[in-house]
Structure 1
């Protein structure tokens, strides 16, 4: 789930995206203060909550951190508007410390490497084009569903025929202060625990 709020820009409306894939065809359905967005199969892919400040306590504008409290408030808002839909939300951190277990050359691209990365709860295969990625490094991984500071949403992808789940991030991509201009991923100190959350300002 991703949520966005900008009262000055679009009014008192919370935009909620439930799926990372944008459907080709959508139709909308209004129920009170909620406009449901559905795909061609009738699945709810997102919704807009009008008069949002009556339902949700907003700490900030822009991309809203998805917390247990927000999910509860959204579930209550749906019920108050007679919408029977259970929000199933993965609240695990989307930016985590990963450990690059191995690095192999991409079979179809000279400048890409295929990395096996331990992120604590699972192991991910990530295709990485950074010149400084090496086995044995601790790195920041944006998992599928993460929203980068640029607004880009990380999705499962296939790069030159090789599946890739997530992204190994540079300091610049994470919008860290004093990020170096040269290309390359951010390599973390060994004190960072694999699988622990890495705080990123949206």
Structure 2
């Protein structure tokens, strides 16, 4: 779940809970709560809460963090408005250290690879990527589904040329790091970094 509050949106808190994949959307509003669904599947992809700061203080502009108490308050508002769904607060880090443990060429591409990446104890994700510097044993930063990139792009699980991919491995430029090189290639971390560690610019970038 990605929480976005923009001061240009007239005090609306938007929660992104699914990928619309460019499909047309429909909205159902009850009181100050709106449910946004895909027209083709009916899947809920977002919730909008109008007059959000009347519910609780919202700190920040753009992507914001919500406490468990905030989400509980939103669930109360949804129920009062007549919606049956409930939100789950996901506070797990979405930018983490990963280690490439396996890699093979994509069968339908001359530049993509299918990588198995460890992101913590007994946690391995498959990521399809075209980074020219990716290799087995490399430590890098993995961006998991449910993340919002510095440029505003939202990351979801998907497929690249028919192969499932659960996130991305990021370059310094994509992470908006200072003095990031403009050439292609994912960020390379020290071999001593521990998979699953939350990304910290001060810890993981020293240029």
Which TM-score band (shorter chain)? Answer: 0.7 to 0.9
Secondary structure of the residue aligned to 2:114 is strand
Secondary structure of the residue aligned to 1:77 is helix
Task: State the 1:132 CA deviation.
Answer: 0.8
- In structure 2, what is the equivalent of residue 68 of structure 1? 68
Q: Give a deviation string over 1:146-174, Cα, whole Å, max 9, x none.
A: 11111112222222332222101101111
Q: Give a deviation string over 1:67-122, Cα, whole Å, max 9, x none.
A: 43432232233244443321134332211111100222222222222211111152
Distance 1:76 1:145 in 2: 23
Structure 2 gap segments, 5+ residues each:
202-207
Query: How many residues are aligned here?
Result: 199
Distance 2:64 2:167 in 1: 21
Matched, 1:3 2:30: no
Runs of 4+ more than 4 Å apart: 40-43
- In structure 2, what is the equivalent of residue 198 of structure 1? 199
Q: Report matched runs for 1:19-30 at 5 Å.
A: 19-22=18-21, 24-30=23-29
TM-score calculated relative to the size of structure 1: 0.86
Structure 1 gap segments, 5+ residues each:
none
Q: 1:34 to 1:22 in 2, by over 3 A?
A: farther
